[in-house]
Structure 1
C-alpha cells in the first residue's frame, strides 16, 4: 500500500500505524499551513492526564503560507520546556533511558523550519523503532490523490477519529486510565522494542 500523509510533530499512534503498514510513504509538503493541527503539536501523558506540547511558529501576514515555508519561533525556549515535560512524564517509564540519548539532540539543536524539524523527528523515531520507510515528498498539492491511500485527514487535531487501539501499560494509567492515540513517544517509552509489533497489529479504519 502506498500512502500520502502529513509529517507531524512526533506523530500520534494513528499516523505511525498507517506508516508502519505502508510500502511507500509520500509526505505532503506542498499544502498550506493551518492552525489547530498536529503539524506543530503532539500530546503526551502527563501526571495530570493528556498534555499538549506545541511548537511556536511565526505566522506570515499573508493569508496563506506553505507548510514548508513556516519558521519556528525560537525566541521561546520551547525545546527546553518540551524536554522537561518529557522527563516529568516518562522518566519512570520502562524504556525512557533506553532511547534518551537518541532523542535528546532533537531538543538541543536549533531548528529553523517546522517541516524540516518534523521530518528529523520522524527519522529519529523510525531509527528507535527499527522501522524502515520508503519515503518521498509531494511535488505539487493535489486535493484528490490517485493510486495512494490518503491519510492526510489525520493531521486535523480538532476532528480526530475515535480509534479502537489495543491498550498498553501507561505510566499514569492507574490515575487517569488508558489514553489512546497519543504521540508515538508514549508508545515508545512504555513498550520499547515491542512498539513496532504493536503498530503493525493495529487496524486503522479510514472514514
Structure 2
C-alpha cells in the first residue's frame, strides 16, 4: 500500500509507524497551502508543557490560494535561532539529542528558500533515522479523491498497482475535534508510551523528534504495527 500524505515539519511519530509496512510514500505536491497545520509547525514538550514551533512563511495569509510547493520561508524573522534554542533547552539533556543534533542543525543553517524543500530534507533525514528505505514520490497533479482500492482496467481486471491510502490531513493539531474516517487508524494508537524528558505522564502526538531524542535507534520499537 502507498501512503499519500502532505509534507510536515517534524511530523508526529505516528506517521513513521504507518510507514513501517508501507510499499511507498506519495507526497502531495500540488495542494494549496493551509494555515495552522503540521505543514509548518510541530509540537514539542518543554518544562512549561507542550509548545508549538512554527516556521514563518511569506504570503501564507494571502486571500488567494498559494501552491504548497511555492510557499517561501520568511527568514526576516530569526526563527531558526528560536527553534534551535528551544530544542536545545527542551532536549539538551535527553539521551540522544547530541546523536542527531548535527544532522538537524546542518539542514537548518542551509536555509532552503521553500518550505517544501525544508520539509523534504528533514523527512529524508528522519526516514534514515528509522532505516526506512521505501520509495518516495511526489504527486504530478492534485486529486481531491483517491480510490481506496485499485480500479479495474479496460479488460475488467484489477490493476496490479498498489492501493493508495489517503492520509492527507490525518495528522493535525486539531485532531481532537476531527472525526476520523472508519478505516483510518487513530494516531494515538500507533505509538506506545515511552519515557519523555518532562512529565509526569505521557503526552501523545508530539513531534517524532521527542521520540528520537528519548530512545535513539530503539525508537522504532515503540510503534504499534
Equivalent position of 2:122 in the other structure? 121
Equivalent position of 2:217 in the other structure? 193
Q: 1:172 aligns with which of 195, 198, 201?
A: 198
Equivalent position of 2:78 in the other structure? 77
Equivalent position of 1:150 in the other structure? 166
The structural deviation recorded for 1:19 is 2.1
Residue 39 of structure 1: SS of its match in structure 2?
Answer: coil
Structure 2: gaps (5+ residues): 148-162, 177-185
Equivalent position of 1:26 in the other structure? 26
Equivalent position of 2:91 in the other structure? 90
Residue 141 of structure 1: SS of its match in structure 2?
Answer: coil
TM-score, normalised to structure 2's length?
A: 0.83
Q: State the number of aligned residues.
A: 199
The structural deviation recorded for 1:133 is 2.5
Residue 197 of structure 1: SS of its match in structure 2?
Answer: helix
The structural deviation recorded for 1:155 is 4.4
In terms of mean alpha carbon deviation, does 112-121 or 15-24 score higher? Answer: 15-24
Does 2:183 match 1:163? no
TM-score, normalised to structure 1's length?
A: 0.90
Does 2:26 match 1:7? no
The structural deviation recorded for 1:107 is 2.1
Structure 1: gaps (5+ residues): none
In terms of mean alpha carbon deviation, does 160-169 or 147-156 score higher? Answer: 160-169
The structural deviation recorded for 1:17 is 1.6
Contact 1:26 1:137 in 2 (8 A): yes
